[in-house]
Structure 1
Amino acid sequence: MRSGPTAEPHGDTAEGDTAGRAGALRPRRRLLVLASTFPARPDDGVPAFVLDLARHEAEEFDTVVLTPRVPGAAADEVVDGVRVVRYPYFPRRFEDLADGAILDNLRARRSRVLQVPALLAAQYLAVRRAVRTGGPDVVHAHWTVPQALVATLAAPRVPMVVTTHGGDVYALRAAPLVQLKRWVLRRAAHVTTVNGEMRERLTAWGVPESGTSVVPMGVEPGPAAAARARTARVPGRIVAVGRLVEKKGFAVLLDALRRIDDVPWEVVVVGDGPLRAGLGRRAAGLPVTFAGQLGKDEVLDALASATVVAMPSVPASNGDQEGLPVTLLEAAAVGAAVVASDLPGIRDVVHHDVSGLLVPPGDVDALAAALRRALTDRDGRERWQAGAGRAAEPYTGDRIGARYRAVLRAAAGQHPD
C-alpha cells in the first residue's frame, strides 16, 4: 500500500469539501479492508457490498482489500482503484470454506471445520505482512469473526473499525464465543452495525454506545434506475433473491404459495446454496423457476421484472438472521412492491402498507395472505412501489460511502475542521 495523490474534493456535501481541503494538505491515508465474502470476478453473483463500499472509501483513502483466495480469482489485482489481494489458506483442491458464506459452508459440510484454523493462521500472516509492507493508518474489518479477531491480534497498534453484518452478532451464541466477540469489539476504535437492534445487543455486551453507530451497506441508484428503465414488469411474477440457506425462509415461501390457488402467479428464485436440492423437491408441481446465481445486473433485472418481491426471512436454528439485506435495498431502489418478514433491519426500510407489506417471520398463512393481496391490489402496489423508492434514498452508495469515510477518518485521527 503506497501513498497516492492528494485527495480532491468530492460531492457537494460539507463532508466532501472538508475531506478535499484536508487531503490537499497531506498525503492520502491508507486503508486496509478485511473481508471473507468477496466476488472473484466482476458481476459473478457473489455479494459485492464490500467492494462497492471500498470503491467509495477509495475516494479518500488508498485502499487495499485483503480476502481469502477463491476459485477463478486473481491473486493480486486492481478493481476500480481498489487493490484486491487474495491469500491462500489451504491446499487449492480442498480450499472452499470462504467460497460463499463461511457459516453456511460449515453447516453444509462439517468436514470444512478442518479449514478453519488454516484460514485463521493464513489471515493472521497476511494481515501482519500487509501492515509491515503497507503501513495502513486504519483497518476496516467486515465481520467480528474472523476478520476483526485476527486484526486485533495481528495489528493491535492500528486503529480498527469493525462492521457487523448480522451473523457475527446473531449467531455464534455459545458463551465463550460471545465473550470473545465482546473482547474484540471493546478494542475497536469504532463499531458499525446495519440495524438498531444489533447496536442494542452490542451495548448490552458492554461496547460503549458512543463507539457504535448504525451505518448499513448502500445501493447504487444508477444501475437500479437502468434496470427499471429497460425491464418490464411481468404480471403475476414473484421474485425472491438470496442464498439458499435457512435464514432466507424460502421453505416458508414455497409452503405459502401452495395456499394461493385462486390467483395466477409464477415464482423466480435467484440464488444458490446448500438447500437447493431440498427446495427443489419442496417446489415440485409449482410454477417455480430456480434461476441460480446471477450477476448484479441480472439480479436487478429480475427484481425490476417482479410484480412482487418476496423476502420471507426467518431466524435460523443457530440464531443467525438478516441484518439489513442488500437485496432489500436493491428491490426498493428499483421501486418494487415488497412483501417481507417483520425483522429488525427489514422494518427500517419496509414500513407496513407504506413501502411494502410486513408479516410475522415463519407465518405461512400471513405470508400467503400478503402475497395474494400484493398480486391483486394494484393501487396498493403502486403506493408501495413509490414508498419503496423513497425509502431507498438514504441508502445510496454516495451517502453511505460518505458516512463510512467519516468514521474511518475519525478512527485514523483525521478530524474535520
Structure 2
Amino acid sequence: MSNPTSKPVLLVATSTLPAKVGDGTPGFVLDLATAVSADFDVVVVAPMVGRAPKHEVVDGVTIHRYSYFPRRWQDLADGAIVENLRAKRSRWLQVPFFFLAMAIAVRRANARYRPSLAHLHWIIPQGLVGLATLGRLPRVVTTLGGDLYALQGAVPTRLKRRVIRSARYVTCMSHDMAAELAKLGATEAQVRVIPMGADVGPVERAVETESRRPGSLLFVGRLVEKKGAAVLLDAVRLLPEDPSRHLTVVGDGPLRASLTAKADASVEFVGQRGRDDLAAEYARAEVALYPSVPASNGDRDGLPVALLEAMTAGCVVIASRAPGIVDVVEDDVNGLLVTPGDAEELAAAIARVEGDPALRTRLGAAARETARGYSVEVVSGKYREILGATLRGR
C-alpha cells in the first residue's frame, strides 16, 4: 500500500493501548504516537482489549488490533502481562497464541504500509516479534521496566540481548534502567533515558475548576505488588486518627480483593478512572503517594506517569526512593522520599506533610514546576529527534 502523503510511515507495536481514549488505561503510547504524527504517518498494532474496535483512526493515528484467543478467556493483555501471568497461571496458555497473533499482525502491517522505521514498546514481547518479522527495518525499542527487570534467566536474557543488538536506539525511563541495558550489551550511543510524558492538559484544566480537599490522600496505580499499596495501607493504620483524612485508591488489578480486606474505613477503592475523572482526583488531592517496592519476581517500577500527572496538579508527592523516581523527585525539594517497604517512615512523612501547610505549599509548587519538563510535548520532541535520526541513519 503506497503512502498517501509525503511523510514516512512509522510502525508502532505495543501491548498497552486504551480501548477508548480516556478510558483510564495508560495512554502514553497513544499520546506519543499522536504527538509524533506531525512527522510520520503512524500505524499502531496492539492486542484486542474489551470491546475495542478492530480498526480505527484516532487523531490521525491508524490503529489495528488483533485477537489472539477466544474472547471469553482473552485477557492476557488486559493490564500488565507479567502481573497477569503471576496472578493466574492458566493465562500461560494464551502466551504462544499471543506471540503468533502479534507476529501475523505486525507482518501484515509491514507488508501493507511499507514503513520506513518501527517503534517497538517493550523488549519482550514486541521487540522480539519485531526481530522475527521486520527483517532489516530500522527500529527503536522502548523498555518500561517489567521486561527488563522481571524476565530473568538464561533464555530471556539471550533473547533480550538479541533484540537490543538489532535496535538502532533503545529508550528507557531511568538511569538505573540504562545501567541494566548496558549489562545486556547496549552501547552508550544506543541508549537514551526518556520517561513517558504526562498528558498535562486535562490535569491543568481540572486544577482550574476543582478545589483541594483537606486531608485528602491519593494513590494511583495498578494494584500489583511493585506499586506498594499494601505498604501504604500499613502506613495509614499507623497514623493518629483524623476524621478529615481520606485515602482514595484509583486503579485495579489482581490484588484488589486482598487490599480491600486490609483497608480501614478511611480508605476508598474507586477502581479505574477515565482521564478527566482522574485529572479531577489529582486536582482535589493534597498528597499523592507512590510507595513502590521491588516485587518478589524482580520487577520494579520505572517512573510512573501517574507521579508526573500528580506533580503537574501541584500535589505534594511522597514516593519511594526507587530507581526512576529519584531521577525526578528530590527529597524535601519537590517531594519527599522514603525507604521502599518502610511503612513507619511513610507514615511519618504523611504526618509531617499533614501538619505543615507551608511545607505543602512549597513542595506542591516545586513539583508543578518540575513537571513542566515531562509533558507529552517535551518528551515527544525528544522521540521525534531519535526517530528522525533512525530514519536518516537508514
| TM-score, length of structure 2 as denominator length | 0.97
Q: Find the aligned partners of 1:89 and 1:114 in 2 and give their Cα distance.
A: 11
The residue aligned with 1:141 is: 120
The Cα offsets for residues 98-147 of structure 1, whole Å up to 9 and x where unpaired, read as 11111111111100000000010111111111111110101100001100
Q: Find the aligned partners of 1:221 and 1:292 in 2 and give their Cα distance.
A: 22
Q: Find the aligned partners of 1:360 and 1:199 in 2 and give their Cα distance.
A: 22
Q: Find the aligned partners of 1:413 and 1:91 in 2 and give their Cα distance.
A: 42
Partner AA of 1:376 in structure 2: G
SS at match of 1:338: strand
Partner AA of 2:81 in structure 1: I
Q: Find the aligned partners of 1:4 and 1:367 in 2 and give their Cα distance.
A: 55
Matches within 5 A, 1:317-396: 317-396=296-375
1:200 positional shift = 1.1
Residue 94 (1) aligns with residue 73 (2): yes
The residue aligned with 1:12 is: none
The residue aligned with 1:34 is: 13
Matches within 5 A, 1:173-322: 173-263=152-242, 264-283=244-263, 285-322=264-301
Q: Find the aligned partners of 1:404 and 1:381 in 2 and give their Cα distance.
A: 34
CA contact (8 A) 1:349 1:388 kept: no
Partner AA of 2:385 in structure 1: A
Q: Find the aligned partners of 1:307 and 1:363 in 2 and give their Cα distance.
A: 22
- Structure 1 residue aligned with 2:57, among 73, 78, 83? 78
Q: Find the aligned partners of 1:276 and 1:130 in 2 and give their Cα distance.
A: 37
Return 5+ residue gaps in structure 2 as ranges: none
1:2 positional shift = 4.7
The residue aligned with 1:152 is: 131
Q: Find the aligned partners of 2:162 and 2:16 in 1 and give their Cα distance.
A: 23
CA contact (8 A) 1:2 1:30 kept: no
Partner AA of 2:108 in structure 1: R
1:53 positional shift = 0.5
CA root-mean-square deviation: 1.2
Q: Find the aligned partners of 2:201 and 2:81 in 1 and give their Cα distance.
A: 31
CA contact (8 A) 2:13 2:119 kept: yes
SS at match of 2:64: strand
Partner AA of 1:209 in structure 2: E
The residue aligned with 1:162 is: 141
Q: Find the aligned partners of 1:221 and 1:45 in 2 and give their Cα distance.
A: 15
Q: Find the aligned partners of 1:257 and 1:4 in 2 and give their Cα distance.
A: 57
Q: Find the aligned partners of 2:36 and 2:307 in 1 and give their Cα distance.
A: 23
The Cα offsets for residues 354-384 of structure 1, whole Å up to 9 and x where unpaired, read as 1110000000110000011111111111111
Partner AA of 1:125 in structure 2: I
CA contact (8 A) 1:2 1:62 kept: no
CA contact (8 A) 1:33 1:63 kept: yes
SS at match of 1:77: strand
CA contact (8 A) 1:77 1:85 kept: yes
1:396 positional shift = 1.4
Residue 127 (1) aligns with residue 119 (2): no
SS at match of 1:210: coil
Q: Find the aligned partners of 1:205 and 1:232 in 2 and give their Cα distance.
A: 47
1:3 positional shift = 2.3
The Cα offsets for residues 156-202 of structure 1, whole Å up to 9 and x where unpaired, read as 21111001101111111222211211111111011000111100111
CA contact (8 A) 1:4 1:62 kept: no
Which runs of structure 1 show a deviation greater than 6 angstroms over 4 or more consecutive aligned residues? none
1:95 positional shift = 1.1
The Cα offsets for residues 266-301 of structure 1, whole Å up to 9 and x where unpaired, read as 100001111011001110x33110011110111111
SS at match of 1:314: coil
Residue 412 (1) aligns with residue 372 (2): no
Q: Find the aligned partners of 1:203 and 1:287 in 2 and give their Cα distance.
A: 45
Return 5+ residue gaps in structure 1 as ranges: 6-26
1:4 positional shift = 4.1
Point out the more displaced range, 68-77 or 171-180: 171-180
Partner AA of 1:272 in structure 2: D
SS at match of 1:269: strand
CA contact (8 A) 2:290 2:320 kept: yes
| TM-score, length of structure 1 as denominator length | 0.92
CA contact (8 A) 2:3 2:113 kept: no
SS at match of 1:94: coil
The 1:325/1:195 distance shift into structure 2, 3 A limit, reads same
1:262 positional shift = 4.6
1:68 positional shift = 0.6
Aligned length: 393
SS at match of 1:413: helix
Identity %: 49
- Structure 2 residue aligned with 1:110, among 69, 89, 96? 89
CA contact (8 A) 1:43 1:297 kept: yes
CA contact (8 A) 2:223 2:251 kept: yes
1:222 positional shift = 2.1
1:414 positional shift = 6.6
Partner AA of 1:280 in structure 2: T
